[in-house]
Amino acid sequence: MHVTDYTSVDPFDTDSALTSPGWLCRTHALALATLCACALSGCAKADAPATGAWAVYGGNAAQQRYSALTQIDRTNVTRLAIAWTYDTGETGGFQVSPIVVDGVLYANTPSHKAIALDAATGVLKWKFDPGVDGRGPNRGVTYWRSGNEARVFAAVEQSLYALDAATGIPIRSFGTNGAIDLRRDLGRDPAMQSVRLTSPGIVYRDLIIVGGRVGEGDGASPGDVRAYDVRSGQLKWTFRTLPRAGEPGADSWPAGAVDALGGANNWAGMALDEARGIVYVPTGSVAPDFYGGARAGDNLFANSLVALEAATGQRLWHYQVVHHDIWDRDLPSPPTLLTVTRGSARIDAVAQTTKHGFVFVLNRETGEPLFPVVETPFPPSAVPGEVTAKTQPVPSKPAPFARQRLTADMLTTRTPEARAWAQAEFAKFRSEGQFVPFALDRDTVVFPGFDGGAEWGGSAVDPRSGVLFVNANDIAWTGGLAPAPTGESARALYLTKCAACHGDGLAGAPPQIPSLVGIGQKRPADQLTQVIRAGAGRMPANPDLTGEQVAALVAFLQAPPPAVPAVAPGGAHGGETAPPAAPPSSAPASRYRFTGYRKFLDPDGYPAVAPPWGTLNAIDLNTGEYRWSVPLGEYPELAARGVPTTGTENYGGPIVTASGLVFIGATNYDKKFRAFDAATGKVLWEAVLPFSGNATPATYAVGGRQFVVIPAGGGKARGAASGGVYVAFALPK
Ligand code: HEC
């Protein structure tokens, strides 16, 4: 195999004035930088980033979101000021975490154009427009260099492009004319697949290793993990997360079941132990998500942290975090590599946060838990055909970072009216904590909700102290099942393919999932057809629908609103109405369908549970004990009335610096970007962004100056405008 030569150019604009021993790293580059940074900080293995650069999504391949830079510290952080902004000129919001190499910042716009900015000034160097607008999440790009050849890998819809890092021009010898099509090589008809890279791939030597987002329902694509040659785009290896007959894990499925199923995909990104050559791949649930009647068994390697040999894709070990998932408990963030202390031993560990609010801390080489995990019994399902797992793994430590069981005394106290409403609604639900199966007769509380606990922003770790920083949502959602419609009406098709998200009554769960009430009057038929065919952002494409079926759905959405009873979130399931006929789909249909992601909100739109609604937590992974936990985020109108900080829903992660600062935006409503004291959880500095910073920031140095940059895109607060602006802060010159 070709060995990459990283030594000829220094991609890290390090400056010894920034961190005293930084000069040690100067002659090293991508691969070696991690080693030298470890020599500085005393960590046992190649974990920490070099000073100056932020060359990999997540700060470094170990996904630590840690920087050794110390120019900005506790004493001067209050003087931080805007150094530059770059407005993409687009709206829609974004989740990008930029990377910075050699003084150049590589990132994306909300419509997924790849861009390169001068990282010191924010001036655009190039922009790559593939001629297709991407929608929804695209969290960044991947950088690779060998000798004086450097490439940026950028995803748009199903394509992964290799761009010349200097110009942004596609490298035509890569894949087909500069790109590979991720729908190919899955062992299924490519035209029927929906795969998008929402989190960037990770580079190991001359391989780019990728997962991808797939659908959540019937007909979803399989979640194969794949490695491509960075030069040619040739497929080098595949790890099938849905094992075929005879492969390890196949006995956790009914024979042949995986052929008709999809998912178990890695959408959140991966971590890489460069020195060991191991890539750590967190996977999501099987699709369809919520009814597992066709997949009795534990369903390996879904909902698992899988350790693969990065060079070959051979599985080394796996750890399943949810057995036979029927709650959509995808592993939502890349794991974080660190070294923990146990007595006198230093143990290389991997920490995985979860949507249900746990941190699993495992031995990086063996996958063994470093805190005991108790296989705990949970109730069976009453839904015909559903066989739940008898037990689920519950870590004894650390304690969960989100509340686990909603009880009547935990409902909102915001106003007496809101409380009374919440009590009456709550009485209708089943609320018994984690892993209670969904039912046909009433809604079940999911707490923390479908969006975590932890989410895609990831967690930060200070490799010197072993303290992990993780932000969390802490609100309740509900969900339920209903018999899948029989018959072939357009409404039956809608209920099967669309209602899980948009709801039986088309009301959706705004702002994450739009209401479709009256959409046929707002959007022309060709736009509706396009969205249904190609998907949009979080909405999957529907390649399995025939032209007639799509037309029937469009006609269904165009039916005058009275024909379609709108049901408020949390309300009853809508009845059968005016059915234009729809031809049958080829995809196998589940017997039961999910009736919608419903946030448990009070009539004024605030969470119907008591605060905190969002938190930031510091957990010592040596001991499993919390250093601190604080509410994260405010509703400006509540804060103005003197309501103590409630915390709010938050999306986007933290970063931590060697000078003891944790930077995080993430909050949906207050648009603030904050610096916390890593030791105490105290807010030391905050700035208001043009839109909320629902993304993970990055920090880097150019020419002796440390910057912290965050994308501000917003769009998650009800009624709020969205944009797409990069905002970089630094100490005034
Ligand atoms: C997994 C959840 C999910 C499923 C399933 C889903 N959608 Fe969506 N849908 C969304 C989300 C999220 C958006 C907003 C996407 C964006 O704008 O980025 C959306 C947007 C739309 C829009 C555009 C709304 C607007 O305001 O322009 C239409 C129309 C739509 N969906 C119809 C459908 C139909 C019809 C189906 C079934 C074939 C379906 N959706 C299935 C989540 C879903």
Residue 97 to residue 85: CA distance in whole angstroms: 15
Tokens at 157, concatenated: 């819809």
Least confident of 444-458, 474-488, 501-515: 501-515
Closest residue to atom 24 of ligand 1, CA basis: 514
How much is the pLDDT for 217?
Answer: 83
In whole angstroms, give the CA distance from residue 121 to residue 256. Answer: 56
Distance 430 CA to ligand 1 centre (A): 28
pLDDT-derived band at 11 (thresholds 50, 70, 90) equals very low
Q: Which of 101-105, 236-240, 563-567 has the lowest mean pLDDT?
A: 563-567
State percent of the chain over pLDDT 70. 89
555 lines ligand 1 (CB under 6 A): no
Residue 310, both tokens: 């990065």
Q: What gap in Å lies between CA 720 and CA 268, rounded to an integer?
A: 26
Residue 51's pLDDT is what?
Answer: 59
Atom number, ligand 1, closest to the C-alpha of residue 497: 37
Span from the CA of 365 to the centroid of ligand 1 (angstroms): 42
Question: Dihedral sign, CA of 321, 327, 330, 336?
Answer: negative
Burial class from Cβ neighbours inside 10 Å (0-12, 13-18, 19+) for residue 1 reads exposed
Task: Verify whether ligand 1 is closer than 6 Å to residue 470 (CB atom).
Answer: no
| Ligand 1 near 490 CB (within 6 A) | no
d(CA 117, CA 105): 5
User: What's the CA-to-centroid distance between 571 and ligand 1, angstroms?
Assistant: 20
Give the distance (Å) from ligand 1 centre to CA of residue 540.
Answer: 8
CA of 459 to the centre of ligand 1 (A): 29
- For residues 439 and 480, is the Cβ–Cβ distance under 8 A? yes
**511 or 109, higher pLDDT:** 109
Residue 26 Cβ < 6 Å to ligand 1? no
| pLDDT value at residue 577 | 29
Whether the CB of 528 sits within 6 Å of ligand 1: yes
- Please give the pLDDT value at position 509: 81
Count other C-beta atoms under 10 Å from residue 323's C-beta. Answer: 22
Give 568 Cα–ligand 1 centroid separation in angstroms: 17
* Beta carbons of 610 and 631 less than 8 angstroms apart: no
Task: Indicate whether residue 589 lines ligand 1 (CB < 6 A).
Answer: no
**Cβ proximity of 470 and 353 under 8 Å:** yes
Alpha-carbon separation of residue 404 from 285, 494, 591 (angstroms):
20, 33, 29
Tally Cβ neighbours within 10 Å of residue 488.
15
Tokens of 316: 């080394």
Amino acid identity for residue 628 in this structure: W
Q: pLDDT grade, residue 532 (50/70/90)?
A: very high
Q: How far is the CA of 100 from the centre of ligand 1 (A)?
A: 34
Residue-wise pLDDT tens digits, 184-241: 999 999 999 999 999 999 999 999 999 999 988 888 999 999 999 999 999 999 999 9
Taking alpha carbons only, the member of 340, 388, 334 closest to residue 364 is 340
pLDDT recorded at residue 451? 95
Average pLDDT over every residue of 113-119: 98
Residue nearest to atom 39 of ligand 1 (CA): 498
Q: How far apart are the first and last CA of the chain?
A: 47
- Greatest CA span in the chain, whole angstroms? 72
Q: What is the pLDDT of residues 377-424, one digit of tens each?
A: 999 999 999 999 999 999 999 999 999 999 999 999 999 999 999 999
When mean pLDDT is compared across 39-53, 101-115, 563-577, 631-645, the lowest value belongs to 563-577
- Segment 359-366 shows an average pLDDT of 98
Local confidence band at 513 (pLDDT 50, 70, 90 cut-offs): confident
- Torsion from C-alpha of 125, 201, 665, 404, nearest 10 degrees: 170
User: How sure is the predictor about 15, in pLDDT bands with cuts at 50, 70 and 90?
Assistant: very low
Q: Dihedral of the CA atoms 606, 607, 610, 614 (nearest 10)?
A: -100
Q: Could you tell me which of 110, 79, 250 has the C-alpha nearest to residue 729?
A: 79
User: Can you tell me which atom of ligand 1 is nearest the CA of 215?
Assistant: 1
| Per-chain mean pLDDT for the chain | 89
Higher pLDDT, 17 or 158: 158
* Lowest model confidence (mean pLDDT) among 19-33, 160-174, 391-405, 689-703: 19-33
pLDDT > 60? residue 714: yes
| pLDDT > 60? residue 6 | no
Rounded to the nearest whole angstrom, what is the distance from the C-alpha of residue 499 to the centroid of ligand 1?
A: 10
**pLDDT band with cut points at 50, 70 and 90 for residue 561:** low
pLDDT at position 581 is 39
Q: What's the pLDDT band for 618 if we cut at 50, 70, 90?
A: very high
| CA 50 to centroid of ligand 1, rounded, Å | 42
Q: Indicate the top mutation candidate among 498, 504, 554 to test ligand 1's pocket, ranked by most ligand atoms within 8 A of CB.
A: 498
The closest of 200, 220, 195, 221 to 210, measured between CA atoms, is 200
Residue indicated by tokens 């024909």:
563
**Atom 5 of ligand 1, nearest CA residue:** 498
